[in-house]
Structure 1
Amino acid sequence: MNKSWIAPLLISVMLLLGQQPCSANGLVQPQSEAPSRSESEPKLPDQDSRELMYKDTLMLFLLPYIEKKMAEIYAPLLTITPTVYPYLVEVTEMKRVNGFRRFDFLITLNIHPTVGPHLSVGEDTMTFRITPGPKVKLESFKHLRDPRKSDLTPNYQNILR
């Protein structure tokens, strides 16, 4: 019995059906079921750019300094240290301190620390001074919003002090 017709039949069926979107065990949420973000949280870009790559590189460079300050600020507010994801940090201002082609920068960031499954626990602004060396100094810090019980799921409300 010649079964050479099976392969072309399977290929034809696959081509007719086309690719269907799938989810791994239901982990992919439809857009309508995605958790809503706070109005103050940054809008995430949907494609890469040179500017975005520079910003992401800068965030990786500054992340240890940001995390150190977050641990200090949130210790009296939470029983755990919040996580700072580089994509939830906005560069709100960047300027050269001493004019064109001088390597002394002030960078102001708006930061949204989270816990667990990206639950917002506050908002902060930090201004760093970056000078040759490189040397990084936190010039100013402003805590804009404390964690709110209403922003946390019931199983995370116990982390509030």
Structure 2
Amino acid sequence: MKIKLRIVLLLLSLILIISPLESKAYSGMHNPKQDSTELQIQDMLMLLLTPAIQDAVSNYYLKYLKEPPLVYPYQIDVIQIERKNGFRGFMFLLTVEVTPVVGPHISVGMDRITFEISAGPTVKLIKYNHIKDFELPPNWKNTLREK
């Protein structure tokens, strides 16, 4: 009987944790009004992952822009987190959506990036999906590479 109760509580916990993450993908920008432990942990994760995200973005935009755009931690939305090796396994697939910018925060595009995060810690780029481009203002067109 205790095992069944634990399973039910575990499933309920997973539903409560996963539901907010999935709803962010459809609700657009997530703008919390107050701080929480979950938000603090997510922000710390984004700070730690920003170098890997920045490398992936820089490599993608290198063929289009003369200088790499920047990605700020507050412009990263967590789309999905998945454990690859079951409950309490420490290998994750993390999918984020980013909005890289140039200059005074001029958005150049939107990208969805999936990383594998495992012990070590190691962060490995799994998939880079460019979603859309944003047109640069006329005074920033000189940052585009010649085709």
Superposed displacement of residue 41, structure 1: 6.3
Instruction: Identify the residue that residue 144 of structure 2 maps to in structure 1.
Output: 160
Q: Which has the larger radius of gyration?
A: 1
Equivalent pair of 1:127/1:139 in contact (CA under 8 Å): yes
Instruction: Identify the residue that residue 101 of structure 2 maps to in structure 1.
Output: 114
Superposed displacement of residue 153, structure 1: 3.2
SS of residue matched to 1:62: helix
Q: In structure 1, list runs of 5 or more residues that go unmatched.
A: 1-39
Choose between structure 1 and 2 for higher RCO, CA contacts under 8 A separated by at least 6 residues: 2
Pairing partner for 1:143 from 117, 123, 130? 130
Instruction: Identify the residue that residue 89 of structure 2 maps to in structure 1.
Output: 102
TM-score normalised according to structure 2 size: 0.74
Task: From the superposition, tell whether residues 85 and 41 of structure 1 become closer, same or farther in structure 2 (CA, over 3 Å).
Answer: farther
Superposed displacement of residue 147, structure 1: 3.9
Q: In structure 2, list runs of 5 or more residues that go unmatched.
A: 1-26
Equivalent pair of 1:128/1:140 in contact (CA under 8 Å): yes
CA RMSD in angstroms, aligned pairs only: 1.7
TM-score normalised according to structure 1 size: 0.68
Amino acid at match of 1:79: K
Equivalent pair of 2:30/2:77 in contact (CA under 8 Å): no
Q: Percent sequence identity over matched residues?
A: 47
CA distance in 2 between counterparts of 1:76 and 1:147 reads: 16
CA distance in 1 between counterparts of 2:28 and 2:104 reads: 15
Is residue 47 of structure 1 aligned with residue 31 of structure 2? no
| Pairing 1:1-161 to 2, within 5 Å after superposition | 42-148=29-135, 152-161=136-145
SS of residue matched to 1:125: strand
Q: Which moved more, 1:138-147 or 1:49-58?
A: 138-147
Task: From the superposition, tell whether residues 73 and 41 of structure 1 become closer, same or farther in structure 2 (CA, over 3 Å).
Answer: farther
